[in-house]
């Protein structure tokens, strides 16, 4: 299971599939929350996750596809786009320091 120290996170990808806009909103929210940490937050299709991603955040329904696209990257699956506990825990760990586990 991949893991990464929060101080080593430089790029987070919010991966999507349907293009309905919810994941774009999540990426924007993460950008604002992590602005002071200097972390790039980008939004890409699940089949196009870049190789320089440190963490991938995606809906649980896309997790298997994301794992195939980026098998060695920490994956944070979530159930709801805004206010999901998994995403909140990721932000908290990044801000407070610690290890982020897939």
User: Which residues in 7-95 belong to E strands, given as ranges?
Assistant: 11-16, 40-45, 55-59, 74-78
**Measured between alpha carbons, how far is 102 from 90 in angstroms, rounded to an integer?**
10
Our answer to whether residue 58 is catalytic in this structure is: no
Q: What's the residue count for the chain?
A: 102
| CA-based torsion, 62, 70, 8, 28: positive or negative | negative
Write down the catalytic residue from 9, 12, 14, 16: 16
**Measured between alpha carbons, how far is 66 from 83 in angstroms, rounded to an integer?**
21
Tell me which residues are annotated as active site.
16
């Amino acid at each position: 299971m991949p893991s990464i120290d929060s101080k080593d996170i430089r790029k987070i990808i919010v991966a999507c599939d349907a293009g309905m806009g919810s994941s774009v909103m999540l990426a924007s929210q993460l950008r604002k929350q992590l602005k002071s940490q200097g972390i790039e937050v980008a939004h890409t299709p699940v089949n196009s996750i870049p190789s320089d991603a440190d963490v991938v955040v995606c809906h649980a329904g896309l997790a298997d596809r994301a794992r195939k696209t980026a098998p060695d990257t920490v994956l944070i699956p979530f159930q709801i786009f805004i206010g999901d506990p998994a995403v909140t825990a990721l932000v908290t760990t990044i801000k407070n320091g610690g290890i982020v586990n897939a």
